[in-house]
């Protein structure tokens, strides 16, 4: 159906795709597997017209085609579901879909579009309420809208870029069911992922990419986990990120205690409801949940960015309910956010400037009239060395760093202050395998040296392997607290989404 | 007002970056400014031609009047003083990502409060009077701007809209007093709505037998302080962090609201000094509508200079020449004074149109 | 306080609200496409000066209005060019247009300062003949006044019920999604800017040709900025813009009425009312606007990378 030949794409710093060949067949789920940065997304964005290839050829049904924009791709029946959805949150489901209707009349009848959606949805088992603005839908439903949007637009080739990242386990199974039905109707599906388990669950054919090249293509029957790992990493198979078995947590004194904390609802955010949580020295407390169920608010309350409308916040045994963010930080609380570029650093400032921002009061000289830059540089270099990170340029604006480098820089800054409590939300999101492993190692190190860690993550594997205790957040409430050994991922998944089974 | 602030934040980020003159190579930066000016002047010549004027005559008049004589040059420097101050008043908040478009209003309020001081405490000696006027001018403009900063810090209304609207209020306040209780009753002067004359001790000293006054010293000191505080101090680092990424700054414990209000207060205060200096040093009275749009021009200067102190100095000079040309051409060629706006627009247009010429935009 | 006062207040509210409504509607269209245009003040001035000049030269005020609308639309292309093609900062681009407008209108209008015209023909509102005699003369409006609310409804219909409106809103909410859906971002922004300039041009002409019937430099008095504020107040919705415009028109009229009645308040203080009211309204309505603003408002769309 679709044939890619010799696709090459060079970005300023990297060769993202190097002479890539790929064949897609109708009625087949084709998985593209590889580490972050292996070039999977780039390749598919070329097919979708988001990037144009430096050289290479694309053939559709045997005819060479030129795809210069997503518009071209759409006309040719190629559609893509991105990691971050390209929905318009303020518009209704029907309006979002209408944008993709190829024969949309000049005067739009949204009811007719809605009907079209429901009939398509029934056919493939995708039920979404289409009357509401998309921002009011849960993440899983938003993804369904993305799929409907493509089907309405008559796409025959559907590309899913890391589509399972935001889904709970049973939602992932639901997605794979939809794949089955679509396959039956002759759709070609490309499924980009770096998760072995999912590939083996849904793919008919698996292409592994490594550093911009095709490492190999296997059919489902040929594929085994070890074969795929070998293709993904070549000789350099990384040690399992969390291989070290954790010693049982030594009960230390409580660092943080939230006592029936409530927050005020603000816009579309999920307010916390009666949240009680304790974190002690030497433990990692994992927070599971579908994103948007109060994780951000929980983190913000702990960091003092959001006031408690009711309840108490205790830090190091003291009542810290009315402390400011600055006081809380000064008391030894550090943070590693999900989006370091947007939340932890000033992008155009250098690494040393950003390091100084981590603790301006400590580096201020002569009452703030100048800053002790020598000590800033010394501290950050020491911290990099202590964490066994490769050093980075102190004088480059941090926005020139890769995601992994940036996360290491933030970790080095925060850990350099020897925090007693570290709040890490999605610390490995979007990182390549090695960087993610390094980040996890640092969290475990901190815990082993007596620090407390709050770990918010959407990766159940990560939560299960790192956490000493695990709580589940749903709609701003803690709906379950476990030790990782006591539950399995399906139970957690159902708790996360409030679905009927297993509760 | 968060609905409007979040997109505005992006807008501010872009604005704070402005046209950042690359540090290396003064010659290159100067050449870029020269090219922009040349294109703008060429385009303006066409406009003048279309209006039936002689651009060559106009330009040569302007040149000989402003730069051809010591007196002309000194007048350009006099024009430059309020422009320098209002430009700093825009550049300082822009470092925090705030857009202060209210220099004009703050300038009027500074002049207003200083005038109150000057006509109330008439018996003071100059050594007390001048510092008092400086404080009053600063407070007048500062409080006016801090209101916008407060609304912004509380997330109520974004400071761009507030400062824009308040620009239309402060000239009315000045008008109210100048036409009302403060109106001079002197014979001859009363035909023209203006306040009583300042006492001699309340006039800023002038230098070199010209109209160049103490405001120039104030402006240059403030420009130097502006650079020092932002580049060297801990507060400057925090302010630049707020401008670069308010979300991260907040998470790192910087008190955003406080910094926003204080920055707006100081900025407004500096614009207020411009107004105080104009009335105290030049007019010696408060008059309605005494500013020919210095506040807006200050915004333009700060933007063209990308908030860099040397850029502000250079562009203030250039715009001061433009202003002088405006009044000159009004007299010699009958071009309305407002036509200088066209020249300013052309300069901005060329800068915006050819971002690569002047360095990277946003 | 009698019939004349309230009748005059109501009639003036409508009269002074109308040009602001046209301006606000234009800005709603622009902001729905993601563009904050502070240059409206300049466009209004262009519309006012061109409208007045053409009315005098041709003797036909309707030609003046048409010319003003055209001039406004074409002039706003400067803004569209900077923002959509050169991807320049919107605020600075808006100020460029403002400066242009201030300067060019002064040059265009210079020859006509002090001139006067008859203005647009007025028609009485049907049915007012039954009212007490004092009010009868007050409810005479020109065609542009009668058209204002229908135009607001039309703008709403276009934005919410047509393909073009859907695409335009998509561009303002999320340009990359709109691009992914095959919309041409730049083209749509140009079209929005044309519509915005067209309406603002009409508004400017209405000020000089129908209301003041004369031209003075800077006669728009910040209405362009007030319109930007009213767009926020109306939560980017064309029909709510009617309320905002009437509110401002009411403030202007009240101030004029009080002055005419010789109320013992200085005209300078009364003149502040419209601006303070606009600000106050924004303050009071500041909550609940979290999701009203177009998602990509003010953002520079850097294209398909």
Chain A residues within an 8 Å CB radius of C167: 99
pLDDT at C1: 52
In the predicted structure, residue A161 carries a pLDDT above the cut 80:
yes
CB contact under 8 A, A69 and C164: no
Residues C64/C58, Cβ–Cβ less than 8 Å:
yes
pLDDT at A417: 86
How far off is chain C from B169, nearest CA to CA, in Å? 6
**How far is it, in rounded angstroms, from Cα B298 to Cα B304?**
10
DSSP strands (E only) in A211-332: 213-219, 254-262, 275-280, 283-288, 310-315, 318-319
Among A123-132, A237-246, A493-502, the range scoring the smallest mean pLDDT is A237-246
pLDDT at A268: 61
CB contact under 8 A, C298 and B10: yes
For the segment B305-341, what is each residue's pLDDT rounded down to a tens digit?
888 888 899 889 988 988 888 888 787 777 788 888 8
Residue among C24, C79, C96 with most chain B CBs within 10 A, to mutate: C96
Cβ neighbours of residue B66 under 8 Å, at least 6 residues apart?
A: B72, B73, B75, B76, B321, B324, B325, B328
Among A188-192, B157-161, C145-149, the range scoring the smallest mean pLDDT is B157-161
pLDDT at C156: 95
Domain ranges in chain B are 57-334
Average pLDDT, chain B: 82
Give me the average pLDDT of each 10-residue run along chain B (362 residues): 37 38 59 81 84 81 82 89 95 90 93 91 84 93 93 84 89 86 69 78 81 90 94 90 90 90 95 93 84 87 86 90 83 80 87 62 34
For the segment C61-119, what is each residue's pLDDT rounded down to a tens digit?
899 999 999 999 999 999 999 988 888 888 889 989 999 999 899 888 888 877 777 77
Residues A289/A472, Cβ–Cβ less than 8 Å:
yes
Q: What residues 185-224 of chain C have any CB closer than 8 A to a CB of chain B?
A: 217-218, 221-222
CB contact under 8 A, B250 and A335: no
pLDDT at B13: 37
For the segment B195-248, what is each residue's pLDDT rounded down to a tens digit?
778 888 778 788 888 888 889 999 999 999 999 999 889 899 999 999 888 889
Query: Would you state the structure tokens that stand for residue B22, as one six-digit string?
Result: 């690359």
Task: Say which of B11, B167, B352 has its CB closest to residue C298.
Answer: B11
The two beta strands, A333-336 and A318-319, are unpaired
pLDDT at B112: 94
Residue predicted with more confidence, A232 or B256? B256
CB contact under 8 A, C183 and A89: no
How far off is chain B from A327, nearest CA to CA, in Å? 7
Backbone φ and ψ for C216, nearest 5 degrees, come out as -130, 150
pLDDT at B7: 37
CB contact under 8 A, C161 and A74: no
The DSSP H or E segment spanning A444 is: helix A433-448
Q: Is C66 on the interface with A (CB under 8 A)?
A: no
Residues C114/C214, Cβ–Cβ less than 8 Å:
yes
Q: Which one of 3.40.1130, 1.10.3470, 1.10.40, 1.20.120 gives the CATH number of domain B57-334?
A: 1.10.3470
How far off is chain A from B252, nearest CA to CA, in Å? 6
User: Domains in chain C and their CATH numbers?
Assistant: 3-113+134-285 (1.10.3470)
Task: Say which of A86, A105, A266 has its CB closest to residue C180.
Answer: A86
In the predicted structure, residue A248 carries a pLDDT above the cut 60:
no
For the segment A20-55, what is each residue's pLDDT rounded down to a tens digit?
899 999 889 999 888 777 788 888 888 988 888 888
Q: Give the model's confidence band at A501: pLDDT under 50 very low, under 70 low, under 90 confident, else very high.
A: very low
pLDDT at A49: 85
Backbone φ and ψ for A394, nearest 5 degrees, come out as -80, -15
Q: Is the dihedral of CA C280, C283, C289, C292 positive or negative?
A: positive
Average pLDDT, chain C: 85
How far off is chain C from A35, nearest CA to CA, in Å? 23
In the predicted structure, residue A336 carries a pLDDT above the cut 70:
yes
The DSSP H or E segment spanning A454 is: strand A452-456
The DSSP H or E segment spanning B152 is: helix B126-153
Residue among A84, A97, A99 with most chain C CBs within 10 A, to mutate: A99
Long-range contacts of B171-174 (CB under 8 A, 24+ apart): B171/B104, B171/B105, B171/B108, B171/B288, B171/B289, B172/C268, B172/C269, B172/C271, B172/C272, B173/B108, B173/B109, B173/B112, B173/C268, B173/C272, B174/B108, B174/B111, B174/B112, B174/B286, B174/B288
pLDDT at A442: 87
pLDDT at A35: 75
In the predicted structure, residue A239 carries a pLDDT above the cut 80:
no
Task: Say which of B47, B101, B169 has its CB closest to residue C272.
Answer: B169
Concatenated DSSP letters of B218-280: HHHHHHHHHHHHHHHSHHHHHHHHHHH-HHHHHHTT--HHHHHHHHHHHHHHHHHHHHHHIII
Task: Say which of A343, A348, A371 has its CB closest to residue B251.
Answer: A343
pLDDT at A481: 85
CB contact under 8 A, B253 and A328: yes
How far off is chain C from B131, nearest CA to CA, in Å? 31
Q: Give the model's confidence band at C29: pLDDT under 50 very low, under 70 low, under 90 confident, else very high.
A: very high
Q: Give the model's confidence band at A237: pLDDT under 50 very low, under 70 low, under 90 confident, else very high.
A: low
Chain B residues within an 8 Å CB radius of A364: 234
Mean pLDDT of the C134-147 span: 74
CB contact under 8 A, B252 and A329: yes
The DSSP H or E segment spanning A17 is: strand A15-24
Q: Which of A491, A487, A406, A430 is nearest to A166 (CA)?
A: A430
Among B23-27, C7-11, C208-212, the range scoring the smallest mean pLDDT is B23-27
Smallest CA–CA distance from C265 into chain B, residue? B176
Q: What residues 171-210 of chain C have any CB closer than 8 A to a CB of chain A?
A: 173-174, 176-183
User: Domains in chain A and their CATH numbers?
Assistant: 2-233 (3.40.50.300), 254-497 (3.40.50.300)
pLDDT at A82: 78
pLDDT above 90 as % of chain A: 6
CB contact under 8 A, B336 and C110: yes
Task: Say which of C164, C181, C304 has its CB closest to residue A100.
Answer: C181
Smallest CA–CA distance from C217 into chain B, residue? B338
pLDDT at A402: 76
**Alpha helices per DSSP H over A240-312:** 295-303
Backbone φ and ψ for C75, nearest 5 degrees, come out as -70, -35
Question: Exposed, middle or buried, A297 (CB in 10 Å: 0-12/13-18/19+)?
Answer: buried
How far off is chain C from B155, nearest CA to CA, in Å? 8
Most confidently predicted of A35-44, A484-493, B302-311, C2-11: B302-311
Cβ neighbours of residue B27 under 8 Å, at least 6 residues apart?
A: none
Residue predicted with more confidence, A290 or A285? A285
Smallest CA–CA distance from C32 into chain A, residue? A90
Using DSSP's 3-state secondary structure scheme, residue A112 falls into helix
In the predicted structure, residue C289 carries a pLDDT above the cut 60:
no
pLDDT at C48: 93
Concatenated DSSP letters of A408-430: HHHHHHHHHT--SEEEEESTTTT
In the predicted structure, residue A503 carries a pLDDT above the cut 60:
no
Instruction: Count contacts between A and B (CB, < 8 Å).
Output: 72
pLDDT at C40: 92
């Amino acid at each position: 159906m679709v044939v890619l030949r010799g696709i090459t794409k060079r970005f300023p710093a990297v060769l993202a795709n190097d002479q890539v060949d790929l064949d897609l067949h109708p009625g087949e789920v084709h998985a593209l597997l590889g580490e972050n940065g292996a070039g999977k997304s780039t390749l598919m964005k070329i097919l979708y017209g988001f990037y144009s290839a430096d050289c290479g050829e694309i053939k559709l049904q045997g005819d060479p085609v030129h795809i210069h924009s997503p518009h071209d791709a759409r006309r040719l029946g190629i559609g893509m579901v991105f990691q971050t959805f390209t929905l318009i949150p303020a518009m209704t489901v029907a309006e979002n879909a209408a944008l993709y209707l190829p024969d949309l009349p000049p005067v739009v009848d949204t009811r007719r579009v809605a009907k079209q959606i429901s009939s398509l949805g029934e056919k493939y088992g995708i039920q979404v309420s289409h009357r509401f603005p998309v921002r009011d839908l849960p993440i899983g439903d938003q993804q369904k809208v993305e799929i409907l949007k493509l089907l309405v637009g008559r796409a025959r080739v559907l590309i899913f870029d890391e589509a399972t990242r935001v889904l709970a386990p049973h939602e992932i199974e639901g997605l794979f069911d939809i794949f089955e039905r679509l396959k039956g109707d002759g759709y070609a599906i490309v499924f980009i992922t770096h998760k072995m388990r999912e590939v083996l669950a849904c793919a008919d054919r698996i292409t592994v990419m490594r550093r911009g090249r095709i490492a190999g293509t296997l059919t489902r029957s040929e594929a085994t986990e070890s074969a795929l790992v070998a293709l993904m990493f070549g000789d350099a198979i990384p040690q399992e990120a969390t291989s070290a078995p954790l010693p049982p947590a030594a009960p230390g004194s409580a660092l943080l205690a939230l006592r029936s904390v409530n927050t005020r609802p603000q816009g579309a955010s999920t307010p916390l409801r009666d949240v009680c949580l304790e974190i002690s020295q030497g433990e990692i407390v994992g927070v599971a949940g579908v994103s948007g169920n109060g994780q951000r608010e929980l983190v913000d309350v702990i960091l003092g960015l959001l006031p408690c409308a009711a309840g108490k916040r205790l830090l190091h045994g003291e009542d810290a309910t009315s402390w400011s963010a600055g006081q809380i930080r000064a008391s030894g609380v550090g943070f590693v956010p999900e989006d370091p570029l947007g939340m932890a650093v000033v992008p155009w400032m250098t690494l040393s400037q950003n390091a100084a921002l981590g603790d301006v009061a400590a580096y201020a000289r002569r009452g703030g009239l100048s800053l002790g830059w020598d000590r800033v540089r010394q501290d950050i270099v020491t911290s990099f060395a202590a964490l066994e990170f490769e050093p980075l340029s102190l004088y480059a604006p941090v926005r020139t760093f890769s995601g992994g480098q940036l996360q290491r820089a933030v970790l080095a800054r925060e850990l350099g202050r020897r925090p007693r409590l570290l709040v890490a939300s999605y610390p490995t999101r979007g990182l390549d395998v090695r960087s993610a492993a390094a980040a996890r190692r640092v969290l475990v190190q901190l815990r082993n040296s007596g620090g407390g860690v709050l770990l918010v993550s959407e990766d159940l594997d990560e939560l299960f392997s790192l956490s000493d205790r695990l709580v589940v957040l749903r709609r701003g409430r803690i709906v379950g607290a476990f030790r990782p050994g006591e539950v399995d991922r399906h139970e957690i998944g159902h708790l996360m989404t409030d679905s009927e089974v297993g509760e | 007002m968060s609905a409007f602030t979040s997109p505005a934040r992006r807008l501010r980020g872009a604005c704070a970056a402005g046209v950042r003159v690359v540090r290396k190579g003064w010659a290159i930066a100067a050449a870029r400014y020269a090219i922009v000016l040349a294109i703008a002047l060429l385009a303006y010549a066409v406009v003048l031609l279309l209006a039936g004027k002689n651009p060559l005559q106009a330009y040569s008049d302007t040149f000989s009047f402003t730069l051809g004589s010591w007196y002309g040059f000194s007048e350009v420097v006099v024009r430059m003083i309020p422009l320098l101050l209002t430009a700093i008043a825009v550049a300082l908040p822009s470092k925090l990502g705030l857009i202060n478009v209210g220099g004009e209003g703050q300038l009027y309020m500074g002049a207003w409060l200083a005038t109150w001081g000057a006509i109330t405490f008439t018996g003071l000696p100059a050594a007390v009077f001048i510092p008092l006027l400086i404080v009053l001018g600063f407070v007048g403009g500062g409080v006016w701007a801090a209101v916008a900063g407060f609304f912004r810090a509380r997330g109520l209304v974004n400071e761009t809209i507030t400062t824009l609207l308040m620009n239309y209020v402060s000239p009315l306040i000045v008008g109210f007093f100048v036409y009302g209780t403060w109106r001079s009753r002197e014979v001859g002067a009363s035909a023209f709505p203006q306040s009583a004359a300042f006492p001699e001790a309340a006039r800023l000293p002038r230098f070199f037998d010209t109209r160049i006054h103490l405001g120039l010293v104030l402006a240059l000191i403030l420009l130097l302080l502006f650079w020092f505080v932002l580049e060297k101090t801990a507060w400057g680092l925090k302010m630049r962090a707020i401008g670069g990424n308010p979300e991260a700054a907040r998470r790192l414990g910087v008190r955003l609201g406080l910094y926003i209000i204080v920055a707006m207060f100081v900025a407004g205060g500096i614009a207020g000094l411009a107004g105080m200096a104009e009335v105290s040093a030049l007019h010696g009275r408060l008059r309605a509508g005494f500013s020919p749009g210095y506040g807006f021009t200050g915004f333009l200067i700060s933007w063209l200079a990308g908030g860099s102190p040397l850029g502000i100095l250079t562009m203030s000079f250039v715009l001061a020449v433009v202003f002088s040309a405006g009044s000159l051409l009004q007299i010699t060629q009958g071009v309305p004074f407002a036509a200088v706006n066209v020249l300013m627009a052309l300069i901005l247009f060329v800068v915006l149109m050819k971002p690569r010429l002047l360095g990277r935009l946003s | 306080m009698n019939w004349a006062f309230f009748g005059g207040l109501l009639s003036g509210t409508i009269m002074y609200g109308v040009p602001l409504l046209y301006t606000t509607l234009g800005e709603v269209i622009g902001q729905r496409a993601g563009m904050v245009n502070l240059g409206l003040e300049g466009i209004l001035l262009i519309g006012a000066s061109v409208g007045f000049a053409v009315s005098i030269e041709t003797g036909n005020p309707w030609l003046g209005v048409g010319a003003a609308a055209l001039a406004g639309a074409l002039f706003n292309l400067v803004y569209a060019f900077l923002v959509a093609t050169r991807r320049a900062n919107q605020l600075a681009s808006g100020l460029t247009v403002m400066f242009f407008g201030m300067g060019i209108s002064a040059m265009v209008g210079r020859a006509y300062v002090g001139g006067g015209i008859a203005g647009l023909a007025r028609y009485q509102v049907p049915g007012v003949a039954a009212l007490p005699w004092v009010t009868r003369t007050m409810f005479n409006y020109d065609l542009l006044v009668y058209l204002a609310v229908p135009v607001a409804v039309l703008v709403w219909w276009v934005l919410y019920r047509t393909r073009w409106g859907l695409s335009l809103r998509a561009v303002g909410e999320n340009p990359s999604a709109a691009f992914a859906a095959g919309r041409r971002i730049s083209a749509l922004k140009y079209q929005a800017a044309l519509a915005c300039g067209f309406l603002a041009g009409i508004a400017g002409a209405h000020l000089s040709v129908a209301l003041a019937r004369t031209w003075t430099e800077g006669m728009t008095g910040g209405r362009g900025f007030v319109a930007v504020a009213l767009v926020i107040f109306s939560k980017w919705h064309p029909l709510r813009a009617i309320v905002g415009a009437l509110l401002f028109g009411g403030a202007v009229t009240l101030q004029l009425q009080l002055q005419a009645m010789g109320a013992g308040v200085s005209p300078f203080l009364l003149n502040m009312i419209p601006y303070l009211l606009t600000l106050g309204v924004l303050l009071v309505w500041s909550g609940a606007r979290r999701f009203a603003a177009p998602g990509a408002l003010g953002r520079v769309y850097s294209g398909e990378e």
